[in-house]
Amino acid sequence: MPFILSKVSTQMTDAQEKELKTRLGQAITLTPGKNEAYLLCGFESNYHLYLRGENDAPIAYITVSIFANERHIGNDRLFAAITEAFYQVLGIAPDHIYIKYDDIAVWGVCGQAIDRGDFR
């Protein structure tokens, strides 16, 4: 299951959040074997972020956590789609959008551990 957590320095409306959720659902399909049906999204707005010592422009810090994609297939297109979504929906300049990738080796869901080794 992929998880995308977004922390932005601006206030998001419900409509903007829903639009981003939809776009992230489309973007995750750029990673082989992933789709919106398993995507978990989280949003934090009005998050205090500083870039180069300043916070006078909108900033986004996004963490993309994906299970069983240790070769990072599709990341270049995924990151481009995420950047475009946050630029178009929230007006955050691409050079103010930072995306961190977490390769998840083990997930816990439904009270059980799922190891990526089970998917080789």
pLDDT in the model for residue 118: 61
Q: Which residue has the higher pLDDT, 96 or 69?
A: 96
Given the structure tokens 């955050």, which residue do they identify? 92
Task: Provide the edge-to-edge strand list for the sheet that holds 40-44.
Answer: 40-44, 3-8, 60-67, 97-104
pLDDT in the model for residue 68: 79
Are 4 and 64 within 8 A, CB to CB?
yes
Q: What is the pLDDT of residues 24-56, one digit of tens each?
A: 999 999 998 899 998 999 999 999 999 999 999
pLDDT in the model for residue 71: 78
Are 5 and 42 within 8 A, CB to CB?
yes
Q: In 9-105, where do the E strands start and end?
A: 40-44, 60-67, 97-104
Closest CA to 86 of 60, 47, 104: 60
For 5, residues 6+ apart whose C-beta sits below 8 A from its C-beta are: 41, 42, 43, 44, 62, 63, 65
Mean pLDDT of the chain: 92
Q: What is the residue type of 90? A: L
Residue 114's beta-bridge partner residues?
107
Q: Going from the N-terminus, what domains does the chain have, and what CATH number goes with each?
A: 3-119 (3.30.429.10)
